[in-house]
Every structure is written in structure tokens, then in C-alpha cells.
């Protein structure tokens, strides 16, 4: 399982790198394209998603985890649709709303499943402590690199959307691999 912790940290680093290089700038541009009501809608919808889906994961964690692979693929699918739409049509309002929905439903479920995955991969208090501290280090390093790259290279908004999509897909593919190893290991130990 220690090897899986490494892959989880790699996923955190890569997604953090792409996220910090793209999302702050994408968010700044999308917020310019929407009214205050959209931003309020974002907060309300995200909080409702957290309340509903975290509650469901607390109650049905094992059942929901069996479908984790499907949730990973759904996020890839909807991200590709979302990012293709914004790159083709350039409608930042649609992107803002659709992104809120994807985040509040699909990504929130991925986060809950990720919590379960971290608990499986790091079952002891000491392992989890090491992982959590290492994850903070990795994410901070990725953020510094991502912001630094964007500050120096100043990519276009189109390139930022491409970076964001690549980061999301890479992260999900790594988690698909980790999930597969966990399921395989569990079947061998039954």
C-alpha cells in the first residue's frame, strides 16, 4: 500500500500543478462574465452538494465506493464536454454554471471516495499522519511551481483551459489505477 501512497501523492502534485497554473486565472475571468447572483448560486450549490453527498458517503461508503470507477469516468466525460464547449463557444457563463454542477455533484463524490481511498491506503494513524503531511508538502510545492510557470509564461485563457483539462484527466487516470489496485488487493484478501 505504500506504493499506492506514492501514486496518490503524485496525483496530488500533478493536479495541484495544473490547478494552480490555471484555475485562479480561469476563475478570475469567469467571475467577470457573471453577476453576483451566479457567485451566490455557486456557494449555495457547492454547500448543498457537500451536505448531501458527504452524508450519503458517511452512510453508504462501501456501496458507493464500488461505483467509484464510474464516478471517475463521469468526471472525465463531463470535463471534456465542459472544456470543449468553452473552447469552441467561449461562453464563460455556461462554463461557470456547468462547472458548479459538475463540481457539486461529481467532484464532490470523488472527494468523498478519495477520503475512503486514503483511509484504505493509509490504515494506521501514523501512516495517515505521514501521508497528510507529505500531501501538504507536495501540494504546496506544486502550487509554487504552477503559479511560477503561469506568472513567467503568461499563457492565454485558451491554454489555461487546456492545462486545467489535462490536470483533471491525469488526476483521474492515476486514481483509476489506484482504485483498480485496491479492488484487486481486496479480492485477493477475501
d(CA 72, CA 76) in angstroms, rounded, equals 6
Is 76 in contact with 70 (CB distance < 8 Å)? Answer: no
Per-residue pLDDT tens digits for 111-162: 999 999 999 999 999 999 999 999 999 999 999 999 999 999 999 999 999 9
Assigned C-alpha cell, 16: 495541484
Overall average pLDDT of the 30-54 stretch: 95
Is 164 in contact with 19 (CB distance < 8 Å)? Answer: yes
Helices (H) and strands (E) in the chain, counts: 7, 0
Does the pLDDT of residue 15 top 70, yes or no? yes
In the block, which residue shows the cell 472544456? 83
Model pLDDT, residue 189: 59
Does the pLDDT of residue 100 top 60, yes or no? yes
Q: List CB contacts of 65: < 8 A, sequence separation 6 or more.
A: 113, 116, 117
Does the pLDDT of residue 18 top 80, yes or no? yes
Amino acid at each position: 500500500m505504500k506504493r499506492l501512497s506514492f501514486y496518490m501523492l503524485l496525483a496530488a502534485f500533478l493536479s495541484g500543478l495544473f490547478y494552480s497554473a490555471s484555475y485562479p486565472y480561469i476563475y478570475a475571468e469567469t467571475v467577470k462574465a457573471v453577476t453576483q447572483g451566479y457567485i451566490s448560486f455557486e456557494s449555495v450549490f457547492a454547500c448543498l452538494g457537500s451536505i448531501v453527498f458527504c452524508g450519503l458517503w458517511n452512510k453508504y461508503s462501501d456501496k458507493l465506493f464500488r461505483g467509484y470507477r464510474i464516478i471517475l469516468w463521469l468526471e472525465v466525460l463531463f470535463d471534456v464536454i465542459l472544456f470543449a464547449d468553452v473552447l469552441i463557444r467561449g461562453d464563460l457563463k455556461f462554463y461557470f454554471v456547468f462547472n458548479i454542477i459538475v463540481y457539486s455533484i461529481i467532484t464532490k463524490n470523488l472527494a468523498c471516495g478519495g477520503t475512503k481511498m486514503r483511509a484504505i491506503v493509509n490504515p494506521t494513524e501514523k501512516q495517515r499522519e505521514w501521508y497528510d503531511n507529505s500531501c501538504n508538502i507536495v501540494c504546496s510545492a506544486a502550487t509554487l511551481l504552477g503559479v511560477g510557470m503561469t506568472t513567467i509564461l503568461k499563457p492565454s485563457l485558451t491554454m489555461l483551459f487546456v492545462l486545467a483539462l489535462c490536470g483533471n484527466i491525469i488526476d483521474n487516470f492515476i486514481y483509476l489505477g489506484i482504485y483498480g489496485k485496491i479492488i484487486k488487493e481486496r479480492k485477493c484478501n477475501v
